[in-house]
Protein backbone atom coordinates (compact mmCIF):
# COMPACT_ATOMS: atom_id res chain seq x y z
CA UNK A 1 0.00 0.00 0.00
CA UNK A 2 1.47 3.41 -0.94
CA UNK A 3 2.31 5.86 1.79
CA UNK A 4 0.88 9.36 1.65
CA UNK A 5 2.21 12.54 3.10
CA UNK A 6 0.89 16.07 2.79
CA UNK A 7 2.84 16.85 -0.39
CA UNK A 8 1.93 13.63 -2.20
CA UNK A 9 -1.73 14.01 -1.22
CA UNK A 10 -1.83 17.64 -2.45
CA UNK A 11 -0.33 16.62 -5.78
CA UNK A 12 -2.78 13.74 -6.16
CA UNK A 13 -5.75 15.95 -5.18
CA UNK A 14 -4.79 18.71 -7.63
CA UNK A 15 -4.55 16.25 -10.52
CA UNK A 16 -7.67 14.16 -9.86
CA UNK A 17 -11.05 15.74 -10.68
CA UNK A 18 -12.90 12.73 -9.26
CA UNK A 19 -11.16 13.19 -5.93
CA UNK A 20 -11.98 16.92 -6.02
CA UNK A 21 -15.67 16.05 -6.47
CA UNK A 22 -15.54 13.67 -3.51
CA UNK A 23 -13.85 15.94 -1.00
CA UNK A 24 -12.59 19.42 -0.26
CA UNK A 25 -8.98 19.89 0.73
CA UNK A 26 -7.75 23.21 2.10
CA UNK A 27 -5.48 24.50 4.88
CA UNK A 28 -8.25 23.80 7.41
CA UNK A 29 -8.28 20.10 6.56
CA UNK A 30 -10.26 17.61 4.50
CA UNK A 31 -14.05 17.62 4.16
CA UNK A 32 -15.66 14.54 2.62
CA UNK A 33 -18.78 15.27 0.62
CA UNK A 34 -21.72 13.01 1.33
CA UNK A 35 -25.46 13.05 0.72
CA UNK A 36 -25.74 15.30 3.78
CA UNK A 37 -23.36 17.95 2.46
CA UNK A 38 -23.57 19.98 -0.70
CA UNK A 39 -20.72 21.17 -2.85
CA UNK A 40 -21.36 24.33 -4.81
CA UNK A 41 -20.84 23.73 -8.50
CA UNK A 42 -21.02 19.98 -8.11
CA UNK A 43 -21.77 17.93 -11.18
CA UNK A 44 -24.11 15.83 -9.06
CA UNK A 45 -27.75 16.76 -9.48
CA UNK A 46 -29.94 16.40 -6.41
CA UNK A 47 -33.68 16.19 -6.53
CA UNK A 48 -35.46 18.18 -3.86
CA UNK A 49 -38.42 15.79 -4.00
CA UNK A 50 -36.60 12.47 -3.85
CA UNK A 51 -38.96 10.82 -1.35
CA UNK A 52 -42.01 12.18 -3.14
CA UNK A 53 -40.72 10.94 -6.50
CA UNK A 54 -40.01 7.48 -5.11
CA UNK A 55 -43.48 7.28 -3.59
CA UNK A 56 -45.10 8.25 -6.88
CA UNK A 57 -43.11 5.60 -8.75
CA UNK A 58 -44.03 3.00 -6.15
CA UNK A 59 -47.75 3.52 -6.67
CA UNK A 60 -47.64 4.19 -10.44
CA UNK A 61 -49.66 1.33 -11.92
CA UNK A 62 -50.08 2.78 -15.43
CA UNK A 63 -47.73 0.24 -17.00
CA UNK A 64 -49.58 -2.82 -15.62
Where do the structural domains in the chain lie, given as residue ranges? Answer: 6-59
pLDDT on residue 40: 47
pLDDT on residue 36: 57
pLDDT on residue 48: 59
Q: What is the mean pLDDT of residues 26-34?
A: 85
pLDDT on residue 14: 92
Q: Would the pLDDT of 43 be above 70?
A: no
CA dist 20 and 42 (Å) reads 10
Q: Would the pLDDT of 23 be above 50?
A: yes
Q: What is the mean pLDDT of residues 40-64?
A: 64
Task: Identify the sign of the CA torsion 10, 15, 19, 24.
Answer: positive
Amino acid sequence: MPEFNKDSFEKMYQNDETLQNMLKYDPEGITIYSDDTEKLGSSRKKSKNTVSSMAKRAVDLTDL
